[in-house]
Chain A
Amino acid sequence: MAFREYRIGCVMFGVALSLSMFITIVLPGIDISSMSSTKIALEKQLTYGWETGFNYYDPFLQGKDKPIKVTLTKDPMSGAAIDKTDAFVFPAGTHFPNGLTHDNILGDDVQKASVEVGKIDQANEEQGGVFLVRATADDVPYIEYATTTKGWTVDATLKAADEQFLAGSGKTMFVREGCWWCHTLLPEQTQDWQSFGRPPLVGDFNGESPTTFGSDRKAPDLLHVGSRNSSREWMVMHFFNPRLVQPHSIMPRYDYLWGSVDANGQPIDLAAWDEAYLAYDNGESINAPVVPLPAADSEARMLIDFIINLK
């Protein structure tokens, strides 16, 4: 070997690099992995499912293989009135997030409560099911597998739902359309409290992938945007053409996420809409053209659901 005269150097190089990787990967890995999930982390996992970037089950990021978040005001099986509850419905075959499939993600206490009280060990992906996020008397959050504990089935829960959010599919859109190149999901610890709300805690991310913090904030932080603005009408106009509601916005138009037909089954003609908008923009007509309502299965609806669900 012609590196013979550099033997000491090569060994030193290996030692230095290994030590560096031990300090910057192994030690933080142990520390971060020991963090227990917060309630937010449990909700996020159950909302977004297994993975919202590229994965086997949704290779072209079309929002497939995702759970549906629903709000309930009556028990799906008995029909009796209950307090307003969020439930997370995994249709049969939907892949579970890491927290449900690995016992080292949620944190010891959360995992224990989720298994002993929440019965999550009885859930499997083939049959799917309905999940809830609860807290014990000691305020330890846990996941409850309502299909076992309450007998709630997927079909009955979807039928009884007041509202359905395709927020998991919407996060896939958020990743695919590159929203996170401008909008961060990370209020900063030092100064963002007033405008953008509470910065996340260390346990808020367990099992989420990708986290899409964003790095280059060219637009408002969105982590709590649903608390500031929960108007679906505003969102629909804003995604179709941001200049309709904010003349100075530099956000791209996402009108193409509407697909070919609107909520009433009418075909959408983007060129005609643009023409009418141009006339409005030039002051030739008084009213802006009407923004079509997104169809229930459109990508625009998924993305809006994701945004509104960011509380």
Chain B
Amino acid sequence: MLKYLFSKEDDIPQGTAAIFFGVSSIAWFIIGTGLGSFNAAKLAFPDLFHGLYSLQFGHVRQVHVHAVIFGWIAMAFAASMMYITPALGNTKLWSEKLGVWNCMLYNVGLCLALALLWAGVTSGREYSDHIWPIDLYIAFVMVVPWCLNVWMTVINRRTQGIYTTNWFFAGCMFMTVIVFLVGNMPEWLHLTGLNEAYMTWWFAHNILGLLITPVAAAITYYIVPKITGNPLYSHRVGHLHFWSIVVFYSTPAAHHLMSSPLPEWLKSFASVEGVLILVPAVAYVCNILLTMQGRWAMFVENIEIKFTITGVLLAIPLNMQGGFQQTRAINWYIHGTGWIVAHAHLALLGFSTFAEAASVYYGMQVLLRRKLWSASLANFHFWMLLIGFSLYWTSMTISGLIQGAAKIYEVPYVDVVIAEHPYMIVRWLGGTMVFFGNIIWLYNMIMTARAGDPVPVGRQPAEIAYTR
């Protein structure tokens, strides 16, 4: 990698930036899920690692969140954009050199940011925990160069139109920059009180709704048609998806604070808009599943489609929960319980992660021109993720319902802790399975780079997945 930092642009092979981002994302996925598993252990057995004062729960909890969001998910997005955007524009990435520098400075910045969070140097605001100097670094060193590469590649495309995936990429990166700069206003301007609390959740809602969900969806818009060979079912439905994301997904931020003393009109407005999120959600899921027509065998046979479609299927319960759990009728019961934790993991570890894993699997094979080293290990990874996630989601949903019941019947809190204990153990088990699955994935990817069969020119890796 260091070699390419000071090479001439023309000497850097195409796809270098995407490969670096891809490998980094897998490494951060292992770190992030490892920390998650460690934290879950503490919630089941608080004295298990007693004496390791440097890894106190309150210090590591946010490191887990930011390692998976900024490390795994965002870097997997960057990897995907750096190879999908040029592929769909029939051109090369605007600047591989910028991409390589971007990746290196991204990793350096993330290490620094997580080290500070670990030390407890925090803004005290969930999801925008980073202190404002780090926010500046993230915005202008990590995100803006990435945006520049994506936008310039789209502008310099050699195709007439822009495919769905690329306008999602370009639009979402624009919205991410805006959300990041506006959402951290409490820190730039020292806003206080309810304004600050509300802006915290405005940021958290929009960074998930305008970056993570739509970009994951955009990736599946590429992967499914590309691998199955079917054209996208409907571009018009794709339009509906995009525009309803911009209009409906950017507005319900207040539904995260339904039981706080925010103005009632704001909570009601947010709640209605929150249900309208079902518009892009249904449009998207239908569009992808209908694109699969006649190719459903690939759901079983092909590892990338298996990951992608599992992610899309997980988007169905995700959106049904998301649309309705924030209405007043349901929110009063499950607010602040493990149900929400399960929902957050359904979005990030379910829907989003499965889509990105497919994209990283596919991208690495295409860019390295190597067939996956072991399809069995990839399948093993898939099942470790899916079973681990399912255990996690089920146990947290149940524990959330227990908490909700205890909340309304005013049960002494310690009885809730006792009742949740078995589910905390299952949660730990599920998270640990995901962690070990990811170690297998990294091994498989390293072996693919070193010893994978070369893919002949003109062939797709998926086509020769089962040939020896």
A52 and B196 CA atoms in complex are apart in Å by 13
Stretch at the interface among B140-148, B155-163, B290-298, B349-357: B155-163
In this assembly, does B190 line the interface, its C-beta being within 8 Å of a C-beta of chain A?
A: yes
Stretch at the interface among A123-131, A216-224, A287-295: A216-224
Contact B260 A274 (CB under 8 A): no
Chain A positions within 8 Å of B336 at CB level: 184, 188, 214-217
Identify which of residues 183-239 in chain A touch chain B, using a CB-to-CB cut-off of 8 Å. Answer: 184, 186, 188-192, 194-195, 199-202, 204-220
Contact A178 B196 (CB under 8 A): no
Residue of A nearest to B185 (CB): A25
CB B383 to nearest CB in A, in angstroms, measures 28
Contact B50 A2 (CB under 8 A): no
Contact B122 A54 (CB under 8 A): yes
Chain B positions within 8 Å of A211 at CB level: 193-194, 196-197
Contact B57 A17 (CB under 8 A): no
**One of B53, B197, B341, B424 near A256 (C-beta < 8 A):** B53
Consensus secondary structure, chain A interface = loop
Contact A29 B195 (CB under 8 A): yes
A6 and B171 CA atoms in complex are apart in Å by 12
Contact A6 B162 (CB under 8 A): yes
In this assembly, does A77 line the interface, its C-beta being within 8 Å of a C-beta of chain B?
A: no
Contact A16 B247 (CB under 8 A): yes
Consensus secondary structure, chain B interface = helix
**One of B132, B250, B262, B269 near A32 (C-beta < 8 A):** B262
Contact A20 B182 (CB under 8 A): no
Decide: A17 near B62, CB < 8 A? Known: A61-B120, A186-B259: no
A98 and B195 CA atoms in complex are apart in Å by 13
A91 and B371 CA atoms in complex are apart in Å by 68
In this assembly, does A248 line the interface, its C-beta being within 8 Å of a C-beta of chain B?
A: yes
Contact B120 A177 (CB under 8 A): yes
Chain B positions within 8 Å of A41 at CB level: 193
Q: By CB atoms of chain A within 10 A, which of B57, B58, B119, B193 has the most?
A: B193
Chain A positions within 8 Å of B59 at CB level: 177-178
A21 and B205 CA atoms in complex are apart in Å by 13
**One of B56, B57, B202, B410 near A194 (C-beta < 8 A):** B410
Identify which of residues 56-102 in chain B touch chain A, using a CB-to-CB cut-off of 8 Å. Answer: 56-59, 61-62
Contact B124 A25 (CB under 8 A): no
Decide: A188 near B43, CB < 8 A? Known: A54-B131, A195-B410, A217-B337: no
Contact A274 B50 (CB under 8 A): yes
Residue of A nearest to B154 (CB): A2
In this assembly, does A285 line the interface, its C-beta being within 8 Å of a C-beta of chain B?
A: no
Decide: A248 near B418, CB < 8 A? Known: A2-B156, A178-B120: yes
Contact string against B for A residues 14-43, beta-carbon threshold 8 Å, 1 for contact and 0 otherwise: 001100110111011101110100000100
Residue of B nearest to A61 (CB): B120
Decide: A24 near B250, CB < 8 A? Known: A177-B58, A211-B196: yes
Q: Count chain A residues whose beta carbon lies closer than 8 angstroms to a beta carbon of B.
A: 80
In this assembly, does B335 line the interface, its C-beta being within 8 Å of a C-beta of chain A?
A: yes
In this assembly, does A115 line the interface, its C-beta being within 8 Å of a C-beta of chain B?
A: no
Contact A24 B251 (CB under 8 A): yes
Identify which of residues 371-418 in chain B touch chain A, using a CB-to-CB cut-off of 8 Å. Answer: 403, 407-408, 410, 412-414, 417-418
Chain B positions within 8 Å of A220 at CB level: 413
A210 and B162 CA atoms in complex are apart in Å by 43
In this assembly, does B1 line the interface, its C-beta being within 8 Å of a C-beta of chain A?
A: no
Residue of B nearest to A217 (CB): B336
Contact A213 B260 (CB under 8 A): yes
Chain A positions within 8 Å of B125 at CB level: 53, 210
In this assembly, does B436 line the interface, its C-beta being within 8 Å of a C-beta of chain A?
A: no
**One of A24, A25, A32, A176 near B194 (C-beta < 8 A):** A32
A248 and B408 CA atoms in complex are apart in Å by 21
Contact A32 B195 (CB under 8 A): yes
In this assembly, does B126 line the interface, its C-beta being within 8 Å of a C-beta of chain A?
A: yes
Contact B192 A250 (CB under 8 A): no
CB B43 to nearest CB in A, in angstroms, measures 6
**One of B53, B119, B414 near A246 (C-beta < 8 A):** B414
Chain B positions within 8 Å of A252 at CB level: 42, 46, 56-58
Decide: A1 near B155, CB < 8 A? Known: A207-B192, A210-B125, A215-B340: yes
**One of A12, A179, A202, A251 near B262 (C-beta < 8 A):** A202
In this assembly, does B263 line the interface, its C-beta being within 8 Å of a C-beta of chain A?
A: yes
**One of B155, B182, B186, B251 near A2 (C-beta < 8 A):** B155
Residue of A nearest to B248 (CB): A20
Contact A210 B46 (CB under 8 A): no
Contact string against A for B residues 296-319, beta-carbon threshold 8 Å, 1 for contact and 0 otherwise: 000000000000000000000000
Contact A217 B410 (CB under 8 A): no
Chain B positions within 8 Å of A305 at CB level: none
Contact B247 A31 (CB under 8 A): no
Q: By CB atoms of chain B within 10 A, which of A200, A201, A215, A248 has the most?
A: A215
Chain B positions within 8 Å of A181 at CB level: 57-58, 61-62
Contact A208 B192 (CB under 8 A): yes
**One of B121, B196, B270 near A209 (C-beta < 8 A):** B196
Residue of B nearest to A204 (CB): B261
Chain A positions within 8 Å of B413 at CB level: 195, 219-220
Decide: A217 near B403, CB < 8 A? Known: A16-B247, A211-B197, A249-B46: yes
Contact A13 B337 (CB under 8 A): no
Chain A positions within 8 Å of B57 at CB level: 178, 181, 252
Contact string against A for B residues 20-56, beta-carbon threshold 8 Å, 1 for contact and 0 otherwise: 0000000000000000000000111011001101001
Chain B positions within 8 Å of A209 at CB level: 186, 190-193, 196
Contact B246 A218 (CB under 8 A): no
Extra inter-chain contacts (15) besides given A29-B195, A209-B192, CB under 8 Å: A6-B162, A17-B175, A28-B254, A54-B131, A61-B120, A98-B190, A184-B336, A190-B332, A191-B410, A210-B125, A213-B257, A218-B417, A248-B417, A249-B46, A252-B56
**A-B residue pairs, 5 tightest by C-beta:** A178-B58, A53-B124, A210-B124, A188-B259, A176-B120
B contacts, CB < 8 Å to A: 42-44, 46-47, 50-51, 53, 56-59, 61-62, 119-126, 131-132, 154-157, 161-162, 167, 171, 175, 178, 182, 186, 190-200, 202, 243, 246-247, 250-251, 253-254, 256-257, 259-263, 265-266, 269-270, 332, 335-338, 340-341, 403, 407-408, 410, 412-414, 417-418, 424
What are some 12 contacts across the A-B interface (CB < 8 A)? Answer: A17-B250, A24-B202, A25-B202, A53-B123, A53-B124, A54-B121, A176-B121, A189-B261, A202-B263, A204-B261, A243-B47, A248-B418
